[in-house]
Amino acid sequence: MRFIVKNNRLHPVYEKTAQSFILSNAPSIPQPQMNTQYPINEDLQTLLQGKQLLHDDLTHPYELIQEHYENGYLQYRKSIAFEKNKPVCRRCGNTNPSLFAQFPCARCQEEACTYCRNCLMMGRVSSCTPLLSWAGPIIPPETIDSPLQWDGQLSAGQKKASNEVTQAIMENKNFLVWAVCGAGKTEVLFAGINEAIRQGKRVCIATPRTDVVLELAPRFKKAFPTIPIAALYGGSEDRHLHAQLTIATTHQLFRFYQAFDSLIVDEVDAFPYSNDETLQYAVQQARKPTSSIIYLTATPSEQWQGECRIGKRAYVTIPARFHRSSLPVPGFTWCGNWEKAINKNVLPSSVKRWLKERIDADKQTLLFLPKISNMKKILPIVQTLHPKVAAVHAEDPARKEKVLSMRKKEILILLTTTILERGVTLPNIDVAVLGAENRIFTESALVQIAGRVGRKAEAPTGTITFFHYGKTRAMVRARKQIVNMNIEAKKKGLIDD
């Protein structure tokens, strides 16, 4: 699609002429005054408010979309802009030149139409693609008197965090909840969300993984049974459902624009820094100019920890688990050049002993390895010790089944890459990391892995061991973080042991 300017308004045209241009080359985009006499299409209003969509996302005729623009109810924005001759994706924030490419485009007839490869899965945006947003009045939300129907109990640590989250949401502030693995972060959100919805605010919980959306949605639907809740992930059916509470993968945030009064970002630490930038961009795009952001994490980055310490970042900690037992502290065991050993089909003796003890006691264990190749090498060796051994990694199609059979106790020892570092709760297991010195095991990854142990009140303890060929800073910091949380919890009287 190309545009021309007529009467200080954009008009779409399909021919390439001297006057017509593609949107990224427009010096500015005029926004017509709102015509209050114009009968708006309510369907379009519902779909577009708080969103940034493409023509392809809508089934409405282009003429109707154009009419809404001409009457001031719809905004066209550039999806790809050029800043200092470098492309920027205005939808996902991508500025990495290697994630842009060009093609001869049938829509604008340009030989080199630039498109963004970073958010391609959400529908391609290119130099000639307009982003569509609603510019008119929004449909006022229904106010519901206290939709929360949950009668569970909060621990003392949760209660404090819950109060502070509620306050941050009410005051439109940014706030960090630093809660140990197994503290019960979800319940901490209930009161704040309840208050927000009572006041007609729109809330979104964003999380990096689809699994978590699928796990959270039914829990929130149970706690808030009377309100519509949209669960958004790649391929979900709620795509166009306008709800006061939205639970979405962070990727889905790319479709939102100034939508939420409160945005709750789960597991901010889950992605390496490079992806973090587009995530931060998506969060900034999706929030309203006046709004609150609540970050949830078990392991804030070093930078954030520093900001907390010097008082630059408002935060609360939940240093203890819901079941009031202290966090298992990782033990370090040097195991020599383990990679060389397994290449000779030998397990380092300390690892072998550790596994044998678990086998003798019939205790289920998770063994983390840095690489898939290591895992393939070690699997047959461990299988000589016991028959019920399996291995999983990210590209394993039988991943879910294997975790399930672990749950059913059909597997005794499960070898895994970092794919199981978070989100998995298996009762009464011991955990070890082989090759903990590998740089894939960051501080946050190691804290998460240690957090797999002792999750359940029935079995609140267990061992976590880092087998290494040289201690790393990440290992030391991870242990320190866990020890500090235990000390803090003890001081505050949140643990009993």
Partner 1 sequence: MTINCLICHAELLPLLGWSALFLKEKPRYLCDVCQAKWERINGHTCKRCDRPMSEEDGDTCFDCIRWEKDAVWADCLTRNHSIVEYNDFCKEVIARFKYRGDYILAYPIAEMMKGSLLTIEYDFLVAIPLSTERQYERGFNQSEAIITALGEQSLSVLTRIHTEKQSKKSRAERIHLPQVFQLVERAVIQEKSLVLIDDIYTTGSTLRNAAKLLIEAGAKKVSSLTIARG
Residues that bind partner 1 (CB under 8 A): 56, 97-99, 101-107, 113, 115, 117, 120-121, 124, 126
Min dist CB 198 to partner 1, Å, is 42
In angstroms, rounded to a whole number, what is the distance separating the alpha carbons of residues 162 and 157?
9
Min dist CB 44 to partner 1, Å, is 21
Specify the amino acid at residue 20. S
SS3 77: strand
SS3 222: helix
Min dist CB 100 to partner 1, Å, is 9
Complex with partner 1: residue 104 or 331, whichever CB lies closer: 104
Complex with partner 1: residue 120 or 476, whichever CB lies closer: 120
Min dist CB 119 to partner 1, Å, is 11
String of b and e for 105-120 (b: at least 16 CB within 10 Å)? beebebeebbbbebbe
Strand duo 203-207 + 245-249: pairing: parallel
Complex with partner 1: residue 106 or 361, whichever CB lies closer: 106
Question: 210-223 and 185-198 are packed helices; what angle lies between their axes, rounded to 10 degrees?
Answer: 60
Complex with partner 1: residue 138 or 372, whichever CB lies closer: 372
Query: How is the chain split among helix, strand and coil, in percent rounded to 5?
Result: 35, 20, 40
Min dist CB 110 to partner 1, Å, is 11
CB 434 within 8 A of CB 369: yes
Long-range interactions of 101-106: CB distance < 8 A, separation 24+? none
Min dist CB 414 to partner 1, Å, is 24
Residues in the chain: 497
Structure-token pair, residue 222? 């149970």
Complex with partner 1: residue 100 or 224, whichever CB lies closer: 100
Complex with partner 1: residue 120 or 404, whichever CB lies closer: 120
Q: Is residue 271 exposed (0-12), middle (13-18) or buried (19+ Cβ within 10 Å)? A: middle
Among residues 368, 346, 341, 388, the alpha carbon closest in space to that of 465 is found at 368
Q: H-helix or E-strand containing 378?
A: helix 372-383
Complex with partner 1: residue 111 or 362, whichever CB lies closer: 111
Min dist CB 1 to partner 1, Å, is 9
In angstroms, rounded to a whole number, what is the distance separating the alpha carbons of residues 451 and 432?
12
DSSP output for 9-56: EEEEE-S--SS-B-GGG-S----PPP-TTS---HHHHHHHTTB-B-GG
Complex with partner 1: residue 62 or 82, whichever CB lies closer: 62
Among residues 386, 421, 387, 428, the alpha carbon closest in space to that of 407 is found at 428
Min dist CB 280 to partner 1, Å, is 19
Min dist CB 396 to partner 1, Å, is 13
Sign of the torsion angle spanned by Cα atoms 309, 313, 314, 320: negative
Complex with partner 1: residue 291 or 438, whichever CB lies closer: 438
Min dist CB 271 to partner 1, Å, is 14
CB 182 within 8 A of CB 319: no
Q: H-helix or E-strand containing 448?
A: helix 443-450
Min dist CB 107 to partner 1, Å, is 6
Complex with partner 1: residue 129 or 249, whichever CB lies closer: 129
Specify the amino acid at residue 223. A
Phi, psi of 351 (to 5 degrees): -70, -40
Min dist CB 111 to partner 1, Å, is 11
Complex with partner 1: residue 63 or 362, whichever CB lies closer: 63
In angstroms, rounded to a whole number, what is the distance separating the alpha carbons of residues 281 and 263?
13
Structure-token pair, residue 435? 């090759």
Complex with partner 1: residue 1 or 4, whichever CB lies closer: 1
